[in-house]
Amino acid sequence: MTAPPLLEVADLRLHFPLGGGFAFGRRGTVKAVDGVDFRLEAGRTLGLVGESGCGKSTLGRAVVGLETPTSGSVTLGGRNLAARSRAERDADRRRMQMIFQDPFSSLNPRMTVGQTLAEPIRLHGLREGPGVAARVRELLGLVDLPEGARDRYPHEFSGGQRQRIGIARALACEPELVVCDEPVSALDVSIQAQIMRLLKRLQDELGVAYLFIGHELGVVRQVSDEIAVMYLGQIVERGAGRTLFREARHAYTRALISAAPIPDPRLERLRRRIILKGDPPSPIDPPSGCPFAGRCPVAIPRCHAERPPLERFGPDHAVACWRAGETPELLPILAQGAPARDGTSG
């Protein structure tokens, strides 16, 4: 028997009842996450991309326990988190941490950096006495902050530096899994790269696994071993990080790629955008067929009627699209004759 994966999410659903109801005549449910399965091995990174509101954050929050799933299971190291005693759950909380998008609201403004970092160490008894201070110094070193940062307050730091503090706080718990919810989206480009490199180095040194949520394809591509594309609460395509964006077969993924700008003016002029009709549909009572059918340029009647299952399409690649076999011809991304540019830039 093989060892269970670090994290296994099975048929996870998270529906928010729509309260109030006075604004709109009828109440409904927001199906923020609607039947998601995936597994993540120790020390690996699963990237999660998708449009705003497709349920990425909700999924990440359900994994770490900030939201209670409507149904389905989250299993950490082979143990189902929902089925266990409160004490055990509290102990497992330490093993999964989170890094937040907004570097400004994710640190307690009234606590010094040292206090913020020492808190989890003390709470979990990870070090004793002078060991706590030593560990705080070590954590600051890990995220490349000077020792003097310990006695300062969050408002004295820039966005990128705060994000480092947030990372150090997560690491203070010595987690096996860190959910990174758009950790670089609020940062300037030059700082983004710093944080991405830092996350990568920490993974190499400490062996943590990441569930990396993002909406910029380039960022997700660079940090992820595997990438899942979400649309309206469902995973519509999944593949190896190195190849997914080259070999995408779901119509939505292809549209997403074609729309994502590339910082290369010559290449940009050769590209053909797949312009989608309309706006993303609302996750309030989503359609019953393929969630993308309403905006899909190549939808067929079957797409509206039947929800396509996430099926294997070659090694390390799974697609939930009835037309997965034809999309590369139906929806070309680069114009004819464009150089297929692989390898490093010159």
Partner 1 sequence: MATETAELPAGPAVARRSPGRIALRRFLRHRSAQVGLVLLTAWVVLAVFAPWIAPYEPNELVSRARQAPSADHWLGTDHLGRDLLSRVIHGARISLVLGFVSVIFGLVPGATLGLVAGYAGGRVDAVISRLIDAMLAFPSIILALIIIATLGPGILNVMIAVGVASVPEYARLMRGQVLAARTQPYVEAAWLVGNDPARIMGRHIFPNANGPLIVFATLQVGNAILVGAGLSFLGLGAQPPTAEWGLMSAEGRDVLARAWWISTFPGLAILSVVVAFNLVGDGLRDAVDPRTRPA
Partner 2 sequence: MSALLSIRDLEVTFATEAGPLPAVQGVSLDVAPGETLAIVGESGSGKSVTMLSLLGLLPAGAARARQVVFDGQDITALDEARLRGLRGREIGIVFQDPMTSLNPVLTVGRQLTEMFELHQGLSRGAARAAAVETLSLVGMPSPKERMATYPHQLSGGMRQRAMIAIAVACRPKLLIADEPTTALDVTIQAQILDLIARIQEELGMGVIMISHDLGVVAGVADRIAVMYAGRIVEIGPIDAVFDAPRMPYTSGLLASVPRYDLDADMPRSIPGTPPDPLARPSGCAFRPRCAEARAACAASPPPALRPAGPPPHEAACILVGEERERT
Ligand X SMILES: Nc1ncnc2c1ncn2[C@@H]1O[C@H](COP(=O)(O)OP(=O)(O)OP(=O)(O)O)[C@@H](O)[C@H]1O
By CB under 6 A, name the binding residues for ligand X.
Answer: 16, 30, 32, 50, 52-58, 215, 283
Contact 214, 192 (CB under 8 A): no
Question: Could you give the count of Cα atoms lying within 13 Å of 168 in the half-sphere of its Cβ?
Answer: 29
Q: Which stretch binds partner 2 (CB under 8 A): 27-35, 79-87, 132-140, 211-219?
A: 211-219
- Min dist CB 82 to partner 1, Å, is 17
What is the per-residue binding string for Mg ion in 131-160, x denoting contact by CB under 5 A?
------------------------------
Select the residue interacting with partner 1 from 49, 96, 319, 324 (CB under 8 A): 96
- Min dist CB 97 to partner 1, Å, is 6
Site for partner 2 in 137-166 (CB under 8 A): 158, 160-161
Instruction: Retrieve residue 303's tokens.
Output: 């797409």
Site for partner 1 in 134-193 (CB under 8 A): 144-146, 148-149, 151-153, 155-158, 160-161, 164, 166, 169-170, 172-173
Concatenated DSSP letters of 101-122: S-TTTSS-TTS-HHHHHHHHHH
Select the residue interacting with Mg ion from 47, 48, 57, 179 (CB under 5 A): 57
End-to-end CA distance of the chain: give it in Å, rounded.
47
Is there binding between residue 88 and partner 1 (CB under 8 A)?
A: no
- Min dist CB 46 to partner 2, Å, is 16
Per-residue CA distances from 141 to 63, 130, 171, 198 (Å):
29, 17, 12, 12
Is there binding between residue 106 and Mg ion (CB under 5 A)?
A: no
Select the residue interacting with partner 1 from 7, 40, 107, 211 (CB under 8 A): 107
**Closest to 308 (Cα-Cα) out of 246, 227, 231:** 231
- Min dist CB 49 to Mg ion, Å, is 11
- Min dist CB 142 to Mg ion, Å, is 26
Concatenated DSSP letters of 185-200: TTS-HHHHHHHHHHHH
**35/27 Cα distance (integer angstroms):** 21
Q: Which stretch binds partner 2 (CB under 8 A): 69-77, 127-135, 185-193, 301-309?
A: 185-193
Give the residue with the Cβ less far from partner 2, 79 or 201: 201
**262/19 Cα distance (integer angstroms):** 41
Contact 67, 14 (CB under 8 A): yes
